[in-house]
Structures are given as structure tokens and as C-alpha cells.
Chains A and B, each alone.
Chain A
Amino acid sequence: MIKKILQSIKIIKIGDWFIIILFCALIIISTKFLWNLPQGKYLEIYKNNEILATYSLNQKITKIIDGEKGETKITIDNGKVRFSSAPCAKKYCIHQGWINKANQIIICIPNKISISILGGKKNYDSINY
């Protein structure tokens, strides 16, 4: 069996090796560029004082969360996330727009819902704001 494989490798000529290596390189490069997976990027949604849910950021979906004052919509769009609707008066959470980096956080105090992006190295324990 092994002998057969070795024999067949001997059959492969330099030109074949060239093509094999070229295609391998092409696969590696295209995975890196086209496989747009933000590695280790997850969204954490807090309601009141507890983690409500954790979602992958690598999807396109709108989640509806029931908060203290009503319905909050959180939109995930392949690597980024935002508050898209909220029952609070001033809509500061919506005006914050998209966040896409690890450890970014948006808090909606009236509706007691906050979102933050996990992943990467978090270089602090708490935020002073």
C-alpha cells in the first residue's frame, strides 16, 4: 500500500508539483481573505444584571429582547452590531451606531440592556465613564 503511494508520488513531475503548490497556496490565501470569520468574536447581551445571551457576530440577524421598559432590537451584521430600536426616550443607545471591536460596549440604562463584544485580550477590568 505504502509502496504504491510512494510510486505514485514518483510519477508526479516538477510541473505537477508546481500546480499542486500553486493550488495549495491559492486555497490558503483565499481562506484568509474570503473566509470572513471574525475569529473569537461574540456578542454578549446583558439584561438587568445578568447575561441573557451570547451570539456569534458572524451572522446577519436581528434579535428582539424584552427589557424593563419594552422591546429592544439588536441587529447583528457580519462582524458588527448595533441597537436598531429601543423604547427609551433619548435613543442614545441607537445613536452610538455600530460597534465591531472586542470589548466595545453600549449600555441602554433606561431599558437595562447592554451589549458588548467579547474576544481578543481585554486589557482592563472595568470602565470608568
Chain B
Amino acid sequence: MRLNNLLIYFLISLLFGCSDNKIHNEKDFVFGTMIDIKIYGESKINAEKVSNEIFTEFHRLHKLLHPWEKSTITDINTAISKNKPIKINNNEVISILRNVQRLETQTQNLFNPSIGKLIKLWGFHSNDYNQETIPNQKKIEKLVSSNPLMQSIKIKDGILKGNNKNIQIDLGGYAKGYALDQAKKILKNNNVNNALINIGGNILAFGKYGERNWVVGIQNPRKPNVLATIALKPGWAIGTSGDYQRYIMVNNQRYSHLINPKTGYPESKTQSATILLPPSDDSGTLSDVFSKPLFIAKRENKINFAKLLNIKYFLIMMDDDSILISESLNNEINWEDDIDKKNITIH
């Protein structure tokens, strides 16, 4: 009799073990990268419906904000390059541009999305970016000294004026984060409480994975495995700027797409900068934007920028494999076994 009971319990537990149908996973390619949506605890039909609504929104943003294929942004850029004012009929675009101007000031111009011409010069305005030479130094210097800044752009009564012909808006460091915040609105509107949205590495943890928090792995910049894992509390966002996804190699030297707007050259001493931000309406946007100054700033200034921008959770990997990590993040992170703890400094 007892043995029978035991057997029944065993069989029931087997059944439960097999039926992990509470998680639904959908993938798509948008913004030139992979989108991964995981939804927990919804019916399959509802999860698919909400995922599709999110993908549709991402495709809309992709078309609206694309930096080099025809979009509202390229229309604005054409007008700016001809020094002509342009009427913008889209309030969303106006509020994005105003927000970008604020963020540029807040990051002391290290996040500067008006340097599209520099990014193009380095060959990153293409899906293949197969440029095999580095740009002419004089051309770089000329663009840098013309001092393009989002703050020079004036928007009044829906009319935008660039005031600097060398301004070319490229929201590559903003759009994916903004899209995360949009996805969050869609989840809320559909009463979905638990989801994990990953847009090419910018991740938003919405709610939980059942009883536990969502866990993300932080990519090792030089190896095909993770450096560490971290549990994201509900509502937290994580963003990374790295030199290992978009870069060109010229004479065995790596040049990433993360260009220092003040020098015109890619930052070369940093491999990656990862930040975690607490819940807020714009945590997705900020996780995308604020990783840039931490990546681009000189080593000695990185910590100051983290303080300035109130980033309490950060992990920065330098080109000599040394790791700078904040105390808060170090308390919660789970390092993978092959990490040399000697290289870690806690700030």
C-alpha cells in the first residue's frame, strides 16, 4: 500500500516535471539584432498575441527612427544638412528629440546622438560594415571641431532647425532602450504581469519567473560564454555597451562602433560596460543611454560618471581583462567559475 502511494506520487511528480508550459518564448529580428520575449504564466494564445503586439511596435519604431534607411529621422537629417527648417508632425519624435537633448546634457555630451556623420565615416551605417580602412584623420578632426550637438537643435511650434550642418541624428544608442519602455506599456495594457524582454542585450525584467526572479547572464566580451549571472528584481533593466558586436578590424586593431564624440575615435581601452537600473518609466531608455558614458569615459572618470548619473549597479571590463564593479552589484552577482577574482576591483 505504502509502496503504491509512493509510486503514485512519483508518477504525479513526473507529470509536473514535464509540463513547463507556463513559459512562452517568441523571437524576432528588429533593430538589426535579435529580440527575445519570454512571457510567464499566460495562456499560449495570449502570450503570442501580446508578443506580436510588441514586435509590431518594434517594427514601427525601427521604421520611424532608422538612422540611414528612409525614416522620419533621415528626413530631419536631410533638412539639417541643407540648413533648412523642417516641420515635424509627429509629437512622439519631438518628445524623443527633447529627451535626447536632456540626456546629452546630463552625460556631459558623452552620449551624443548627433554624430551620425562620424559613425558613417567609420563605416557603421551599413548592415555589413565591412570597411577595411580607418577614416582619414583630417576628416575626423574636421567633424569633431565642427562640434555637432543635439543641444544646438531648436524645436519651436513643431518646426525643427539644426543650426549646424554637421549634425546627423543617429538614435542607435537610444532606440532599443526606448523600445523596452514601450514594450513595458504594452505588457501593462494587456495585464501581463511576468515577462522578460531582450532587445539585442538590452533587457527588461517585468515581474518574475514564477516564484523566483528573472536571471540574466552577462556576456564575456572575448569568449562565447557568460561572465556572470545576476537576478533582476521585478521592473529592473540591464544594458550593456560592448566592443564585440559591432566593430571593424583594421591591421589587427579593433575599432568598435562606440565612438567618443570628443575625439572622433572609438574608445579602445574598454571591452564592455554593463549597468542595472531600478524600476522607473524610462528605466529601459536609461539602461541603453547611460551605458555609453561609462564605456566611453576614461578609466579614471568612469566611477565619477556612475556617481553623477546615480548608477549604483555597474560592471566594466577593461581591455586588460580587469573588471571594475560597484559594491552593490558585487554583492548580488554570481561569477562563473573561470573568472580570475584577482582582476576585480570593487568601487
Residues of A within 8 A of B (CB): 46, 48-50, 88-90, 96-97, 99, 101, 103-107, 109-110, 112, 114, 123-129
Contact = CB atoms under 8 A, between A and B. Distances in A.
A99 B182 CA distance: 35
A125 B214 contact: yes
A97 B223 CA distance: 10
B240 A128 contact: yes
B128 A126 contact: no
- Report the 10 A-B pairs with minimum CB-CB distance, sorted nearest first: A49-B27, A129-B219, A89-B128, A124-B217, A89-B130, A129-B201, A124-B215, A126-B198, A127-B217, A124-B229
A85 B309 CA distance: 44
Contacts of B32: 109
A99 B130 CA distance: 25
B229 A123 contact: yes
B256 interface: no
A125 B129 contact: no
Nearest to B26: A49
Contact of A125 (B201, B209, B224, B274): B209
A127 B34 contact: no
A101 B229 contact: no
Interface in B198-232: 198, 200-203, 209, 214-219, 224-226, 229
19 contacts: A49-B29, A90-B248, A101-B225, A104-B224, A112-B29, A124-B216, A126-B36, A126-B203, A126-B214, A127-B198, A127-B216, A127-B217, A127-B218, A128-B198, A128-B203, A128-B218, A128-B219, A129-B200, A129-B219
Contacts of B217: 103, 123-124, 126-128
Task: Indicate the member of A46, A101, A107 with the most B CB atoms within 10 Å.
Answer: A107
A48 B239 CA distance: 23
A107 to B, nearest CB: 6
B98 interface: no
A112 B27 CA distance: 11
Interface residues of B, number: 39
B128 A125 contact: no
B154 to A, nearest CB: 37
Contacts of B29: 48-49, 109, 112
Nearest to B238: A128
A89 B29 CA distance: 18
Given A125-B215, A126-B216, 6 more contacts: A49-B27, A89-B129, A114-B34, A124-B217, A127-B219, A129-B244
Contacts of A127: 198, 201, 216-219, 226
A67 to B, nearest CB: 11
Nearest to B336: A123
A109 B215 contact: no
B240 A129 contact: yes
Contact of A128 (B127, B130, B201): B201
A104 B219 contact: no
Contacts of A126: 36, 38, 196, 198, 203, 214, 216-217
Nearest to A105: B224
Contacts of A129: 200-201, 219, 240, 242, 244-245
Contact of B128 (A88, A101, A123, A128): A88
A123 B196 CA distance: 15
B55 to A, nearest CB: 9
B28 interface: yes
Contacts of B248: 90
A125 B38 contact: yes
A104 B225 CA distance: 5
Contact of A124 (B33, B201, B226, B239): B226
A36 to B, nearest CB: 22
Contacts of B240: 128-129
A94 B34 CA distance: 18
B26 A128 contact: no
Interface in B49-108: none
Contacts of A128: 198, 201-203, 216-219, 238-240, 274
Contacts of B38: 125-126
Contacts of B26: 49
Nearest to B197: A126
Contacts of B225: 99, 101, 103-104
